[in-house]
Amino acid sequence: MTEKDNKDLQKEIDAIKSRYKTLEEEEAEHQQKGESDWSGYVLGLNLFVSVLVCTGIGVVLDKFFETKGLMVGLFVVLGFGAGLWQIWKKFS
């Protein structure tokens, strides 16, 4: 490689690096917003727990009203919607 090729390659590398944040910059941004690096896991866990809790409520209501799965189905959809709503609120 010639000296000119090396300079051109270094310019391209610098241009690519400027498009992306370093790990330290991302961590500083998260801390500034008051977020942790676990926010994605927390959102997934919120979705899972909301479906799980609503399923439990549906099971109890099915036994109480003797509806044979109707309440479970309804509350699973409700729990999934509640989890997605929390994800929507996070990113909007």
The pLDDT tens digits for 28-83 are 877 787 766 677 788 899 999 999 999 999 999 999 999 999 999 999 999 999 99
pTM flag (> 0.95): no
Helix 70-91 × helix 39-65 angle, to 10° = 160
Range of the domain at 82: 38-92
Residue owning tokens 């709503």:
85
Instruction: Give the number of domains in the chain.
Output: 2
Q: Strands (DSSP E) along the chain, which ranges?
A: none
> Based on the domain organization, do 55 and 20 belong to the same domain?
no
- Tell the burial category of 69 from Cβ atoms under 10 Å away from its Cβ (0-12, 13-18, 19+): exposed
User: What length does the chain have?
Assistant: 92
> Based on the domain organization, do 85 and 51 belong to the same domain?
yes
> Based on the domain organization, do 56 and 79 belong to the same domain?
yes
> Based on the domain organization, do 78 and 45 belong to the same domain?
yes
> Based on the domain organization, do 47 and 88 belong to the same domain?
yes
> Based on the domain organization, do 48 and 92 belong to the same domain?
yes
> Based on the domain organization, do 20 and 63 belong to the same domain?
no
